[in-house]
Structure 1
């Protein structure tokens, strides 16, 4: 599912184009099935030649899975990891056994499960790092697929233009053929440009941006999991994980926790509601955890 800013951006862009067309002429004049087939068919065919079907399928699966990353608040993750760390510190890793199945993030869930299952620190550290690297490679391929599609679109638009020009020049004496050939020539260029600059290019950029957020979050989880494995003080773990949060959010988080007075009661309230709150914004979580 596309995130809100992507949907708004696509709707806004296409709406402006449609409004510009409608205010100056007839929208149906810009509809051409043959032009669309040349551009879309060319993009699909070239992409299938360049990449395997598995790569293409995985690319769109990756895009879909990453589109919700922007809404994740790392400060909420910090609250949950700190709560888990304090429980592990007092009762050991096995205390998390009943909680792990409720964790929504697969990377964190699997990492904590490996820790509870008794994996050695060196093995777990390697597994967690390898999974991050594997995800990074997968995303890089997905970005390349979208960038390739963005490059192919105007190229096939130009191919359609050449086809239209050839058809037009073959029938210079026939006004009807001249018009249809010129229409194909111009509309394929238009379609190719729109697909490149309004769809595939921006999606490639968005995927690159979201993947960095996702990998940063995984790195933060990795640090937290390894800190629990090493039985470090939860405050030390927090300091290590805070590095992955942007400075403004980090300052707000630190200030809020410095002002807290009844921490044990807050921890109990958080533990009773963390399953429902784990993907909420931190500001929402703060309100839920207020005394009273």
Structure 2
């Protein structure tokens, strides 16, 4: 579970609610016509903009905003280095059995391609093509939420116009001025909250998730191509360190130094 997302959402709702309670009652800000105009209009425009299958798929993707299984780049690098050492000692064919034990389908595909003797350029093209499709699927998810974030304030303004029109048409009836003004102002409020607290932050979180996943897959791609090229595992390690965050990089360097010291002591 992503604590930051949960905490941010709760904090945003809480601060808005507290701000309202300091001067008014929460029920003052409840207006069913405003909800129908803002939320209903946003959903309707989204359905017009995207195929129904995309909208339904995004509902499943939204769970990634709250729940995510993070992969450790250091662990992935260690797996690649183990494969590189195996290939250096026993040859590429020895990697076939290890490939079927890998949890990462992307890495498994790359290893099996090089075991089959596929041309290096073709391996690169196949894996980069899959990367492009993965990134495109990610874009559909956060792109739809961004679209909803853009529509929500627009329908808030539409609700404001509706309320003002109704108010101006009934200026002679003082009893209708208040309800019409409530619709006019509340729809703008709803539109801003939906866009800036729900849709756009969720889209941004999915962008961050996508960038993290793509970086890890780039690490895997670089490692697979290096193994196929028969590069020294130490050289591969230095290349893959470029993908590690500074904190993990320092830990990795400390582990390498510790291993060297242990080797010297044992020697």
Q: TM-score range by the shorter chain?
A: 0.7 to 0.9
Equivalent-residue separation in structure 1 for 2:56 and 2:141 (angstroms): 9
- Correspondences of 1:142-161 after superposition (within 5 Å): 142-161=141-160
Q: Residues 103-135 of structure 1, C-alpha deviation per residue, up to 9 Å, x if partnerless?
A: 333322332333344433222111111111222
Q: 1:209 to 1:92 in 2, by over 3 A?
A: same
2:169 is the alignment partner of 1:170: yes
Q: How many residues align?
A: 263
Give the Cα separation in 2 of the matches to 1:125 and 1:193.
45
Q: CA offsets, 1:28-80, max 9 Å, x none?
A: 22122221111111111212222223443444555545766683321121122
Mapped contact 1:67–1:210 kept (Cα < 8 A):
no
C-alpha contact 2:65 2:205 (8 A) present in aligned 1: no
**Equivalent residue for 2:51?**
52
Unaligned runs of 5+ in 2: none
CA distance in 2, matches of 1:54, 1:263: 57
CA distance 1:67–1:253, change in 2 (3 Å): farther
Aligned to 1:111: 110
Distance change (3 Å), C-alpha of 1:251 and 1:8: same
- Report the TM-score when normalising by structure 2: 0.86
Residue 183 of structure 1 deviates from its aligned partner by 1.6
Unaligned runs of 5+ in 1: 265-292
Report the secondary structure of 1:25's partner residue: coil
Give distance in 2, aligned partners of 1:91 and 1:252: 29
Q: Does the 8 Å contact 1:220/1:244 carry over to 2?
A: yes
Aligned to 2:235: 236
Partners of 1:200 and 1:161 lie apart in 2 by: 21
Match of 1:225 in 2: 224
How far residue 263 of structure 1 moved from its aligned partner, in angstroms, is 7.9
What TM-score, normalized by structure 1, do the two folds share?
Answer: 0.79
Aligned partners of 1:59 and 1:142 also within 8 Å: yes
Match for residue 255 of structure 2? 256
CA distance in 1: counterparts of 2:242 and 2:172, whole angstroms: 72
Q: Which has the higher mean CA deviation after the structures are superposed, 112-121 or 209-218?
A: 112-121
CA separation of 1:55 and 1:13: change in aligned 2, threshold 3 A = same
Q: Secondary structure at the match of 2:231?
A: coil
1:135 aligns with 2:134: yes
Post-superposition offset of 1:231: 2.5
Inter-partner Cα distance in structure 1 for 2:100 and 2:188: 52
Kindly indicate whether the alpha-carbon contact (under 8 Å) linking 2:64 and 2:206 is maintained by their aligned counterparts in 1: no
> 1:228-262 CA distances to partner (integer Å, 9 max, x unpaired)?
22222211211111111123422331122111259
Task: Mark the CA change 1:97 to 1:200 in structure 2 (over 3 Å): closer, same or farther.
Answer: same
SS in 2 for 1:259: helix
Query: CA–CA distance in 2 between the matches of 1:76 and 1:263?
Result: 21
CA contact (8 A) 2:100 2:108 kept: yes
Deviation of 1:24 after TM superposition, in Å, equals: 2.7
RMSD, aligned α-carbons: 2.7
8 Å Cα contact 1:94/1:116 also seen in 2: yes
